[in-house]
Amino acid sequence: MKSDIENSDRNRRWVNWISVYEKNIKQFRDQNFPIGAKKEILKGFLEKIIVTQKDKQTISFTIDYNIPIIDDQMKYKNIKNKSKGYEPIEGTKTSILELDLSRKKSIQINELGT
């Protein structure tokens, strides 16, 4: 019973982040969307961001999320009949990105399971 409640809570949080993201992604890209509103939405996803300069040309961003949304997935109980529901497969909570200033290009170098 306790396991069912925990799974239900995890499913609800996972679905909620999808709902919020889908609802707000267009607004995030709108330059007229208030910066304060963007910050509030991000607070729901982000725990912290650590920025370090590796060398003169490379900056590293370690992004820690509140929930494991990096590479998370939906596993359908019946792939032929998706209405039977799904189980969320948690991803990781941490992602590391590097920005190479000489190329003005960012690359994701790895994810850390936490």
| pLDDT, averaged in runs of 10, over the chain (114 residues) | 49 58 73 86 86 91 87 84 83 88 68 48
Q: What local confidence, expressed as pLDDT, does residue 101 receive?
A: 84
Dihedral angle, C-alpha 73, 77, 82, 88, nearest 10 °: -30
Q: What local confidence, expressed as pLDDT, does residue 52 receive?
A: 95
The phi-psi region of residue 71 (left if phi > 0; otherwise alpha if psi is between -120 and 50; otherwise beta) is left
Q: What local confidence, expressed as pLDDT, does residue 45 receive?
A: 79
For the four alpha carbons of 36, 60, 29 and 43, in that order, the dihedral sign comes to negative
Alpha helices in 44-101 (DSSP H): none
Cα 98 from chain centre:
17
pTM equals 0.60
Closest by Cα among 56, 57, 62 to 100: 57
- The span from the CA of 96 to the CA of 45, in Å, is 16
Q: What local confidence, expressed as pLDDT, does residue 16 receive?
A: 59
Q: What local confidence, expressed as pLDDT, does residue 49 receive?
A: 93
